[in-house]
Amino acid sequence: MTSICKISKVWKSRPTIEGAGVHLKRAFGNNHVPMFDPFLLLDDFHSNFPPHYIKGFPWHPHRGIETITYVIHGRVAHGDSMGNSGTIGEGDVQWMTAGNGIIHQEMPQGDKDSLMWGFQIWANLPATHKMMDPRYRGFTAKEIPQLTLDSGVQVKIICGKILETMGPVQDVVIDPTYLDVTVPPRTTFLHDTTRGHKVFAYVVDGQAYFDQARSAYAHDVVGTNYFDMKKQCVCDAENLILFEDGDQVVITTEDHPVRFLLVSGRPLGEPVAWYGPIVMNTQQELQTAFEEYENGTFLKHKKNK
């Protein structure tokens, strides 16, 4: 019998400033470990005011994780210590495996209306892969399959599988799914999930019911006022929905459409030692990483020719 994934928690992303002064909304991060294992962070950078994003994320290191950047408006110029450089355009995805160490930069640029909008997810690497060679994978919007289902639902498949269509990102140790889903009004979207995997959704625009029972009191709503007696069960823009374990998610709209990111992956169940852009398993590994960064021995790979 199919078990529908119930909602565990819901909350709004919160404003923060990162990099050289990029204003963004953080859906989850360091203080949510291990709630989203194997995922570490989800940032929503969305602004049409260039001073809030133009200084970007200058050169900085990563080790022990994968960073996944998905742009829906504007573009991001990038470069890294392996010699990769270019632009992540609208609808493009950059899937970068830091492994044993990479240094890179990401510099957001708005579209013709100065709008910059994208998302970055950090996915953890298991201890067996934290010191693997780094790798860079970039996929243009044309390389990312988009399906229109019989119900009218549109799905962009970054990784994972819908019907017989696979996303371009494959060979990832946490076996992730990453979908960009748009559901028209008065429509239901069903998606099978893998038992034991962590599943969450982030609402980009619109609103929908992510709980089949539509019970606002069946899950935690984080960050609400204790005296707020009008607990709503519909989820709208900038809501983060964490699901309980199950076999299928069911999302239903009424008068409004909804667009959301649906992400899942296999938990690692390992210790997390995290400081800034480096995530390891122990404090000693963290200390080694920063010592190597300071003394110039951080990078283990050879630059692409």
Q: What is the pLDDT of residue 213?
A: 77
Contact status, residue 235 vs residue 209, Cβ threshold 8 Å: yes
Residues 6+ apart with CB under 8 A from 35: 9, 28, 242
Displacement of CA 245 from its chain's centroid (Å): 19
Q: Burial code of 137-170, b = ≥16 C-beta within 10 A, e = fewer?
A: bbbeeeebeeeeeeeebbbbbbbbebeeeebebe
Cβ atoms of 53 and 70 within 8 Å: the answer is: no
> By the 8 A CB rule, do 41 and 263 touch?
no
Annotated domain spans of the chain: 7-295
pLDDT for 231 equals: 52
For residue 124, what pLDDT is reported? 98
Q: Are strands 220-221 and 7-12 parallel, antiparallel or unpaired?
A: parallel
Please identify every stretch of the chain with a pLDDT value under 70, giving residue numbers as ranges: 215-232, 303-305
Domain 7-295 in this protein, CATH class: mainly beta
Q: What percent of the chain has pLDDT over 90?
A: 90
CB 26 within 8 A of CB 13: yes
The three-point CA angle 162-247-43 to 5° equals 65
Paired tokens of 171: 């060979």
| Among 195, 201, 190, 194, residue whose Cα is nearest residue 243 | 201
The one-letter amino acid at 64: G
The model's pLDDT over 80-115, given as tens digits with 9 standing for 90+, comes to: 999 999 999 999 999 999 999 999 999 999 999 999
pLDDT at res. 222: 58
Using an 8 Å Cβ cutoff, are 178 and 119 in contact? no
Distance CA 42, CA 44 (A): 7
Q: Hey, what are 236's tokens? A: 């709208």
pTM reported for the whole predicted model = 0.94
- Closest to 14 in 3D by CA, of 43, 52, 56: 43
